[in-house]
Amino acid sequence: MKIAVFPGSFDPITIGHVDILKRSIPLFDKIIIAIGVNTQKKYLFPLEQRMAWIEKVFKDYKNVEVAHYQGLTINYCKERGAGYILRGIRSAADFEYEKTIAHLNHSMNTNLETILMLSPPEYSSISSTIVREIILGKGDVSMFVPSEIASEMKLSQ
């Protein structure tokens, strides 16, 4: 089984994440969308809410699972029998950051490969950070988040 973990904060999930995921689904037998829980980090939305939104978006995809974990991503991958870490790349800055993490992860576990997927140009300026800013400013985020959950995000403002 080719199992990939797509780790992230997903605070909240955007159409950029969804694009990377939907394009990656044919490449793997299973993708685990795994929310990394960092007790030091402040999130805008609670873990349960972030998970529920992702579950709603991928409810019809039998080979996509939504989960959460604490600690190192490489340890979580081992625990879940995953051989691949999936990450999205929007820019050269993303690439530099992801390259460092991927090299570190590979040096700690040579069986684990990081797969970097490029975002299309039209999604390359979309980030959870921007979406959070718009929500906090009481703006409309519907063009940046999956349509199934856009109205719920407005309620959370």
Contact 36, 91 (CB under 8 A): no
Which residue is nearest to ligand ADP, using beta carbons? Answer: 16
Contact residues for ligand ADP (CB under 6 A)?
8-10, 14, 16-17, 20, 87-88, 90, 94, 119, 123, 126-128
Q: Which is nearer to ligand ADP, 129 or 151 (CB)?
A: 129
- Least distance from ligand ADP to the Cβ atom of residue 146, Å: 12
Minimal distance, residue 50 CB to ligand ADP, in Å: 9
Using the minimum distance from each CB to ligand ADP, give the nearer residue, 57 or 126.
Answer: 126
**Quick one: angle between helices 73-80 and 92-108, nearest 10?**
60
Toward ligand ADP, which CB reaches closer, 109 or 127?
127
- Assess whether 156 carries a catalytic annotation: no
Closest CB 144 distance from ligand ADP, rounded Å: 9
Whether 90 is catalytic: yes
In this structure, are residues 112 and 46 in contact, taking their beta carbons and an 8 Å threshold?
no
- Record the tokens describing residue 58, joined without a space: 């991928």
CA count, 13 A, side-chain hemisphere, 3: 15
CA–CA distance, 103 with 136 (Å, rounded to integer): 36
Q: Would residue 128 show up in a list of annotated catalytic residues for this protein?
A: yes
Residue 86, strand partner residues: 115
Strand partners, 35: 8, 68
Residue 17 a catalytic site member: yes
31 close to 64: Cβ distance less than 8 angstroms:
yes
* Nearest distance from C-beta of residue 26 to ligand ADP, angstroms: 17
Residue positions annotated with a catalytic role:
17, 41, 90, 128
